[in-house]
Amino acid sequence: MKTITTADDRVAVEQTPCMIPDLTIKDLLSAIPAHCYQRSAVWSSAYVVWDFFLLAVIYKTATFLDAFITPEQISLPNAHLYSIGHFAVWALYSFFSGLVMSGIWILAHECGHQAFSESKVLNNTVGWFLHSALGVPYHSWRISHAKHHASTGHMTQDQVYVPKTRSELKMPAFDSNNETLEGSTVSQKVMKELWEAVGDSPIVNAIGCVQYLLLGWPFYLIANAAGQTRYPVGTNHFKPTSIIFAPHQYWQIIWSDIGVIVWALSIAGAIHRFGFADVFRLYLAPYLWVNHWIILITFLQHTDPLLPHYRAPEFTFPRGALSTMDRSLLGDLGSFMGWIGACTTHGLSETHVLHHVCSKIPHYHAWEATYALRRRLDQAGVKLQGRPGGWSEMYRVFRDCRFVEDEGDIVFYKNGHGLAAARPVFADHSASDSGVEIDTNKEA
């Protein structure tokens, strides 16, 4: 984010123009080849089998290497290196197993969108088993997630990653004499007040990221953390009478709870029989990685200083769908790791904008559909390809997206100094800004 200090001791930021689209859903869907909408139970099931095969290969590789790291097989200069070697093998096992298990999580997510097959019964059966095996209340989350898709980016209707407002964070009230509502200029006095109020520092941000990645997913399910702020305290995904659900969905929530209870009892039984160390090494450590990846992927898809959020007067479904971002998961570690990230998680991070335009398109058609959709969006001056998704990007976004204003129908995140990296522009209103692309790789 480039800033300058003005003559009256204010700090001004060079904001990136963000094209607010006026496309219709027909404009978007018609750009996608017809065959991309086809769903195949055989193909989808093959990916389930493939993922479990990969888990078996990773496990066999880890056990082989673990058995190989012994004085009889390999000579190391220090006895402690054997312990380090064993730890490294199982750490890598948990990392890669966590990625593949995230792919299984994503296939269950496709079941919830009815993208797995043409059969609703098959979709919900497979989805319940796969998500229950990962501690996810299938129907409960399916229902809230559908609401998220219907109102993505809506300040009062979206279900998750809803920005906190200035007043909700109890920050100093907006001062029109010393700052602008759009966050283009702020006096140094107000910058200091906001910085102190938000408690911003590298250490605080780093700790916040770790907490978010490790605890964000279970706390969202249990306590509506980062969820819709207008929901009452105590809102969660396990109570059939929660505000999230309609009365006719009661028994679907109960059935989802049963799946999670069976999952928890299975883990307890495994610990009783095999011991905590083995269960943690083989399942719980990869499971923590799954929670981590799901939060990292989805947080970065929906959070960035250059993504708008809408209040009711300006919200439309296409605008909400296009307030998301495609990112190359692990692409910051190089093209090979980017390929690993995309393949193991079935392109969820890389094709997410398309997924919000039409969630029934299966992942094996999502790549072709994404490229077709991007060509249509390019014509409208909209580019939604962000920086690669990884830990450094998680830190940057977490640091730069602190709050939004209580006023305004189109709002962008402000950082801890009260500066916003983007401003809205409309193709119909400004010839000079017509066709402006959101350069999501620009320093913000």
Chain segment 305-340, per-residue pLDDT in tens: 999 999 999 999 999 999 999 999 999 999 999 999
Range 45-73 average pLDDT: 97
Say what the pLDDT of residue 430 is.
Answer: 40
pLDDT confidence of residue 1: 78
In the predicted model, is pLDDT for residue 440 greater than 70? no
Cα–Cα distance, 391 to 415 (Å, whole number): 19
Nearest to 371 by CA among 33, 123, 119, 70: 33
Residue 247 dihedral angles phi and psi, to the nearest 5°? -55, -35
For residue 439, pLDDT over 70 is answered with no
What's the confidence (pLDDT) of residue 283?
Answer: 98
| Confidence band of 428 (pLDDT split at 50, 70, 90) | low
DSSP string spanning 77-120?
SSTHHHHHHHHHHHHHHHHHHHHHHHHHHHHHHHHHTT-S-S-H
Q: How many CB atoms lie within 10 A of CB 256?
A: 25
Q: Under a CB-based contact definition with an 8 Å cutoff, are residues 196 and 112 in contact?
A: no
CB 411 within 8 A of CB 418: no
Reported as a pLDDT band with limits 50, 70 and 90, residue 444 is: very low
**Span 395-401, average pLDDT:** 97
Angle between helices 120-132 and 41-68 (to 10 degrees): 20
Average pLDDT, the chain: 95
Q: What confidence tens digit (pLDDT) does each residue in 243-265 have?
A: 999 999 999 999 999 999 999 99
Mean pLDDT of 160-167: 97
Mean pLDDT of 392-403: 97
User: pLDDT per residue over 43-52, tens digit each?
Assistant: 999 999 999 9
Q: Look at residues 317, 308, 324 and name the one whose alpha carbon lies nearest to residue 413.
A: 308
pLDDT digits (tens, 9 = 90+) for 285-303: 999 999 999 999 999 999 9
pLDDT of 429 strictly over 90:
no
How much is the pLDDT for 9? 84
Identity (one letter) of the amino acid at 339?
Answer: W
Region 3-30: mean pLDDT is 93
